A and B are shown apart, each in its own frame.
Chain A
């Protein structure tokens, strides 16, 4: 389509100046945007209030639609349960029988564990939950993997609290608003999680890849010790995430570690539990005696 005639203002000085001013405004605006960008790169918390405003404004619609989405998922689930129900029932009964004995063994182990811990006088800080919410939206068009949680400061959610779902670890809180909070998912490249292999406690680190997978790097040098199907859980090292939260399953071995698929799928988590930071009290006490000084904890 041809450009409209206002691009050629003719001999009118006023029109020429008017056109010139729009160009000046456009370039000045671009420079202002570049400055704002510089500020937000240097200080990522700077504009969190604006982002919080954005998510608060759209939260009601997201909540309603999320409820609709969840109930439609439930319906399809219920309908699909009827398909092939008889043979499913037989398999489930078999599995139930097998798992019943495993459950009894686990119960005995738990009792024994508690007894041994009390003998050793290990003070165990239980991971206490702060609140339970739902994930209502995510940054599906950005390379950052951030989700919005349906609860915020009104339920005591604070920054740097871990978030888990029924299936496994989801991420940690990076920004809080009055009724919403933003959660950095474990699949974000920025999110490092100390993990271990569930079978033998092999320590490792996990970093997101931004495509729904995580890269699991062992702390030890040498050939990658992982096998496909290994179960990875959080190790509790360094506080923040408590130990033994289910994390990921290894799906491919790479030269430097392994690729893992997180257990918690933000799209299918019926709820998200916000937990208190693991060993948070110990960290606070340590800070009170010997503050780190220069190492300031930088927010997102």
Chain B
């Protein structure tokens, strides 16, 4: 049987029609920059014109960072919590170094969990992320209280809940970015 020409799926991108369809390699630049840029851009969300009465906006930088770490273990180096956290401190309004310390501790904790619970499913990852998000937000509250007067910790409850519920969405965004990152 002859296959009609129109049934052959053309590559979506123009200009690829005469390029080799096999033995292609991913772009190294894309592989490296997409995780880094996504975490930094997620940290920058706080500088958009979003005004809330209390701390309500989820820490998108942390969510993105944790989902890259839990979804692709070994992609981000163990020490990457420090630079990403310090970058987040520039935009979050917390005392400088607060996220640098807390994100790095979160990274080390995930590393310890990785050596104990090797095969995990998605719900367990979500549980780990939920505990870490709550711990980092409470730690940030405590650190802000060291330097300045701090409000009642109950103001954090809505933010913690919202962040935990938004984690699956951020993992899905991460997964889409990952498939784009590894696409040839």
- Contacting pair B148 A50 (CB below 8 A): no
- Contacting pair A141 B159 (CB below 8 A): yes
Q: Which residues of A contact B46 (CB under 8 A)?
A: 137-142
- Contacting pair A33 B93 (CB below 8 A): no
- Is A152 interfacial (CB-CB < 8 Å)? no
Q: Bound state CA distance, A29 and B80, in angstroms?
A: 9
Contact with B along A4-40 (1 / 0, CB 8 A): 1011000000000000001101111110111111111
Q: Which residues of B contact A209 (CB under 8 A)?
A: 151-152, 155
- Is B105 interfacial (CB-CB < 8 Å)? yes
Q: Quick one: closest A residue to B93, CB to CB?
A: A139
- Contacting pair B156 A143 (CB below 8 A): yes
Q: Which residues of B contact A33 (CB under 8 A)?
A: 82, 85-86, 97, 100-101, 104
B46, B53, B81, B156 — most chain A CB neighbours (10 Å): B53
Q: Which residues of B contact A30 (CB under 8 A)?
A: 81-82, 101, 104-105, 108
A6-B74, A209-B151 known; A29-B95 Cβ under 8 A: no
- Is B96 interfacial (CB-CB < 8 Å)? yes
- Is B71 interfacial (CB-CB < 8 Å)? yes
A6-B74, A33-B85, A143-B141 known; A44-B90 Cβ under 8 A: no
Contact with B along A181-214 (1 / 0, CB 8 A): 0000001111000000000000000011111110
Min CB–CB distance B157 → chain A (angstroms): 10
- Is B180 interfacial (CB-CB < 8 Å)? no
- Contacting pair A142 B97 (CB below 8 A): no
Q: Which of B69-83 contact A (CB under 8 A)?
A: 70-74, 77-79, 81-83
- Is B59 interfacial (CB-CB < 8 Å)? yes
Contact with A along B168-179 (1 / 0, CB 8 A): 000000000000
- Is B128 interfacial (CB-CB < 8 Å)? no
Contact with A along B43-69 (1 / 0, CB 8 A): 011111111111111111000000000
- Contacting pair A138 B104 (CB below 8 A): no
Q: Bound state CA distance, A39 and B107, in angstroms?
A: 23
Q: Bound state CA distance, A188 and B144, in angstroms?
A: 11
Min CB–CB distance B128 → chain A (angstroms): 12
Q: Which residues of B contact A61 (CB under 8 A)?
A: 47-48
- Contacting pair A22 B155 (CB below 8 A): no
**Which residues does B use to contact A, with CB under 8 Å?**
44-60, 70-74, 77-79, 81-83, 85-86, 90-98, 100-101, 104-105, 107-108, 111, 114-115, 118-120, 140-141, 143-144, 146-152, 155-156, 159
A-B contact pairs, 20 of them (CB 8 A): A1-B120, A3-B114, A3-B118, A22-B79, A26-B78, A32-B82, A33-B86, A33-B100, A37-B97, A39-B97, A40-B98, A41-B146, A47-B96, A61-B47, A137-B46, A138-B51, A142-B55, A143-B140, A143-B144, A211-B152
Top 5 A-B pairs, shortest CB-CB distance: A212-B53, A210-B151, A139-B93, A37-B97, A33-B100
